[in-house]
Amino acid sequence: MELNAVYVQDGEWIVAWLVEMPGVHTQGKTLEEARKNLRDALELMLDVQREDSERELMGKTVLKREALAA
């Protein structure tokens, strides 16, 4: 699976976001910094989603867990 990143110059900053993941956005002074920050933002968002999912699963019978290759 590939995600599409958009980078836009906004004054002194480069603003970046992922098209397919609303809420994953960041900025940086350089394209490289914005790209790194965007990866970090995605990781943080996924961590929070995993934690939320674990809380929702409490008390439920999980039939299976598996990695989904896309």
Let me know if residue 65 belongs to a domain.
no
Domain around 10: 5-56
Across all residues in the chain, what is the average pLDDT?
95
**35 and 16 in contact (C-beta within 8 Å)?**
yes
pLDDT digits (tens, 9 = 90+) for 15-47: 999 999 999 999 999 999 999 999 999 999 999
Let me know if residue 27 belongs to a domain.
yes
**1 and 21 in contact (C-beta within 8 Å)?**
no
pLDDT attached to residue 47: 96
Domain count, the chain: 1
